[in-house]
Amino acid sequence: MDVACHYYKRFYLCARLLNDDTGSALALNRLGVCYFKRMKFEMSYLYNQKHAQFVKGDDKFIAVYNAAIASRL
């Protein structure tokens, strides 16, 4: 799982360099899920909050929902 988080962070950095908001949001979502599975709930919450900043409309629900689940545990 550490390897996955490492590559998702690289993916996020590449997406930011390319000004790709969709790719950035996807990477942040996957990082939040990755940290959640590793039971690092604070990091999961932070990445899901950051994900919520990149998305608009109905997609924001996913980020807020994931952040709420991470904050409950």
Q: Is the pLDDT of residue 39 over 80?
A: yes
pLDDT at res. 63: 86
This prediction's pTM: 0.88
More confident residue, 51 or 57: 51
Q: Is the pLDDT of residue 36 over 80?
A: yes
Phi, psi of 40 (to 5 degrees): -105, 80
Q: Is the pLDDT of residue 62 over 90?
A: no
Q: In whole numbers, what is the pLDDT of the chain averaged over residues?
A: 90
Tell me the C-alpha distance between 15 and 52, whole Å: 16
- The domains of the chain, with CATH numbers, are 2-72 (1.25.40)
What SS3 state is found at 55?
Answer: coil
